[in-house]
Structure 1
Amino acid sequence: MGNDDITLRQLQSEVDDWIQTIGVRYFSELTNLAILMEEVGELSRLMARKYGDQSFKSGESADNIPSEIGDILFVLTCLANQMGISLQDVIQSTIKKNTKRDLDRHKNNPKL
């Protein structure tokens, strides 16, 4: 990792510190879920225009895709913090689950 890289645990801590000092408090879990869906929708709109069949409206560009991904990660981190979920633990668990389930599945997929 480079000097600016942070771990998932550090990410959760930094987001929590930001919420406590600048954000005042966490929004409710349901509000944050709605915000997460909104942010995913914003990413979807840009992706549909860059990689799909839609065209950009005047003033729109794909340059905002990284920002939208950052917004999604921020809100997802808020939700994990609120529910006491370790992002490090869940991603490791998900990788193990996917590895066990898909060990040969994709290698044997003629579509790939």
Structure 2
Amino acid sequence: MEIKEAQAEVDRWISQFEEGYWHPLSMLARLTEEVGELAREINHLFGEKPKKPTEKEGNLALELADILFILCCMANSMDIDLEDAFKKMMDKYRTRDAERWTRKK
């Protein structure tokens, strides 16, 4: 799925509800919550805080997808083309960091 397609699918989902997109600060709070959930899962899997026996198993992929969903919401609500922004961001990294790390042979 292309990023444009993901943004369109999110827009179709949100557009069926009267409430529509949340205000930017509310979406930022939601993004922060989702990143916190991802951090918790990573900490349980790779950090020093194992899950309690009563806690259900998490899913890193779904936590990342939750973040992608809210990023699409934020971009859509502000009329930002994430695909275009991503391409520009990668060009920046390719130029700025072209010689920053050791390349594989």
Q: Same fold (TM over 0.5)?
A: yes
Distance (whole Å) between structure 2 residues aligned to residue 22 and residue 34 of structure 1: 20
Quote the residue 2:36 is aligned against. 41
Q: CA deviation at 1:10?
A: 1.1
Counterpart of 1:60, as a letter, is K
1:22: Cα distance to partner? Answer: 4.4
TM-score (structure 1 length as normaliser): 0.84
Q: How does 1:95-110 map to 2 (within 5 A)?
A: 95-107=90-102
Any unmatched runs of 5+ in structure 2? none
Counterpart-to-counterpart distance in 1, 2:82 and 2:36: 22
- 1:60 is aligned to 56
1:51 partner letter: F
CA deviation after TM superposition for structure 1 residue 23, in Å = 6.9
Deviation at 1:19, TM superposition (A): 0.1
1:92 Cα deviation after fit:
0.4
Structure 2 matches for 1:18-29, cutoff 5 A?
18-22=13-17, 24-29=19-24
Q: CA shift at 1:60, angstroms?
A: 3.0
Instruction: Determine what percentage of the aligned residue pairs are the same residue.
Output: 37
CA distance in 1, matches of 2:17, 2:65: 18
Number of the residue aligned with 2:4:
9
Q: CA deviation at 1:29?
A: 0.8
What letter corresponds to residue 101 of structure 2 in structure 1? H
Please, which runs of 5 or more residues in structure 1 have no aligned partner? 1-5
Number of aligned residues: 102
* Greater RCO, CA 8 A, separation 6+: 2
Over the aligned positions, Cα root-mean-square deviation in angstroms equals 1.5
Please state how far the C-alpha of 1:59 moved relative to its aligned partner.
2.3
The residue type equivalent to 1:76 in the other structure is: L
**Normalised TM-score (structure 2):** 0.90
Q: Residues 23 and 42 of structure 1: is their aligned pair in 2 closer, same or farther, counting only changes over 3 Å?
A: farther
1:72-109 CA-partner distances (Å, limit 9, x unpaired): 0000100000111111111101110011111111118x
